Amino acid sequence: MTPVVRAAGLRVSLGGSVILHHIDLAVDDGEVVALLGANGSGKSTLVRALVGAVPAESGTVELFGTPLGRAVPWERVGYVPQRVSAASGVPATACEVVVSGTLHARRLLPPRDARRRACAALEEVGLGAEADRPVRELSGGQQQRVLIARALVRSPDLLVLDEPVAGVDLPSQQVFADALTRLTHRGTTVLVVLHELGALEPLIRRAVVLRHGCVAHDGTPPAPSAEHAGPDHVHLHPHDGDRGPASEGQPALAPTIRWQA
């Protein structure tokens, strides 16, 4: 059986620095895989490279057995980027943002029932009542849920999430964990970047740990290191909504190399 995601010999450089090298990774149908690692270990870059948002310098990436490109069945892939400030220059409602998720490589016009599907996706993440509210009026956690709904609206078979619960309020985290549980029961393959397993712990059977840009561990989820141990450990995520270094943790510890859009 072809794996849903396969990367072989993947190497990614951004701004002249090698961020990822010698990455071999395969995710099978129905698996739920957590991607762990310290700040700046290359987790976000890896998921971006897997969905084609940053180019690979060498190596190959296949989704559903098709090399990255227009031929990939994009309608089966749902991607949730790290939360960007959803309030752009022009106001947009939650529904409009979610409707933009119905488009993919072979569909440049939204389907006839786009609004109904968008409302259903918002319902799934507990925002059914906020469909017509402008995104900029929603809380950070709600904005993150809008981005998740945007990925869910096309009923993906593969869901790729980049730190979906970082800096998100507790009710949003719980709603998110419940939604993800329902999806995995339906057989959705999930690849999720996390800082800590947290509420998702019961779902995750396999963890891939990155260190300095290559895979350091692939197998059962490792125990948290001593200083992070225990459920009572409090994580603080300075999240200011933008994509600056601050969203990845302490500025002094995070590398300053970030992908520029």
Partner 1 sequence: MNALDELGAMLSDPLMQRALVAALLVGLAAPVIGTYLVQRKLSLLGDGIGHVALTGVALGWLIGNALGLAPDDALAVPGAVVAAVLGALAIELVRERGQTSGDVALALLFYGGIAGGVLLISQAGGTNANLMGYLFGSISTVTTGDLTLTVLLALGVLVVGVGLRTALFAVSHDEEFARASGLPVRALNLAIAVIAALTVTVAMRVVGLLLVSALMIVPVAVAQLVTSSFRRTMATAMVVGVVVCVTGLSITYWQDVSPGAMIVVLAIGLYAVTTLVRGVLGFARRRRREGVDPHPQVADDVELATPGGR
Size of the site for partner 1 (CB under 8 A): 45
Q: Chain-centre distance of CA 189, in angstroms?
A: 12
- Does the protein bind partner 1 through residue 99 (CB under 8 A)? yes
Q: Smallest distance, Å, CB 157 to partner 1?
A: 14
Q: Rule CB under 8 A: choose which of 24, 113, 123, 132 binds partner 1.
A: 132
- Does the protein bind partner 1 through residue 139 (CB under 8 A)? yes
- Does the protein bind partner 1 through residue 127 (CB under 8 A)? no
Query: In this complex, which beta carbon is closest to partner 1, that of residue 105 or of residue 253?
Result: 105
Instruction: List the interface residues with partner 1, window 58-87 (CB under 8 A).
Output: 69-70, 72, 74, 77, 79, 81, 84
Q: Rule CB under 8 A: choose which of 96, 178, 181, 199 binds partner 1.
A: 96
Contact 7, 60 (CB under 8 A): yes
Q: Smallest distance, Å, CB 5 to partner 1?
A: 13
Q: Rule CB under 8 A: choose which of 51, 121, 161, 209 binds partner 1.
A: 51
Q: Is 73 exposed, middle or buried (0-12, 13-18, 19+ CB in 10 A)?
A: middle
Query: In this complex, which beta carbon is closest to partner 1, that of residue 223 or of residue 261?
Result: 261
Binding mask 161-180 for partner 1 (x = CB under 8 A): --------xxx---------
- Does the protein bind partner 1 through residue 110 (CB under 8 A)? yes
Of 103-111, 193-201, 220-228, 248-256, which part binds partner 1 (CB under 8 A)? 103-111
Residue recorded with tokens 């993800």: 180
DSSP the chain: ---SEEEEEEEEEETTEEEEEEEEEEE-TT-EEEEEE-TTSSHHHHHHHHTTSS--SEEEEEETTEESSTTS-GGGEEEEPSPP----SS--BHHHHHHGGG-BTTB-S--TTHHHHHHHHHHHTT-GGGTTSBGGGS-HHHHHHHHHHHHHTT--SEEEEESTTTT--HHHHHHHHHHHHHHHHTT-EEEEE-SS-GGGGGG--EEEEEETTEEEEEESPPPPPGGG-STTPPP-----SSSSGGGGS-TTTS-S-----
Q: Smallest distance, Å, CB 217 to partner 1?
A: 26
Q: Rule CB under 8 A: choose which of 4, 5, 97, 158 binds partner 1.
A: 97
The footprint of partner 1 (CB under 8 A) covers 48, 51-53, 69-70, 72, 74, 77, 79, 81, 84, 88-93, 96-97, 99-106, 108-110, 114, 132-134, 137, 139, 147, 150, 160, 169-171, 260-261
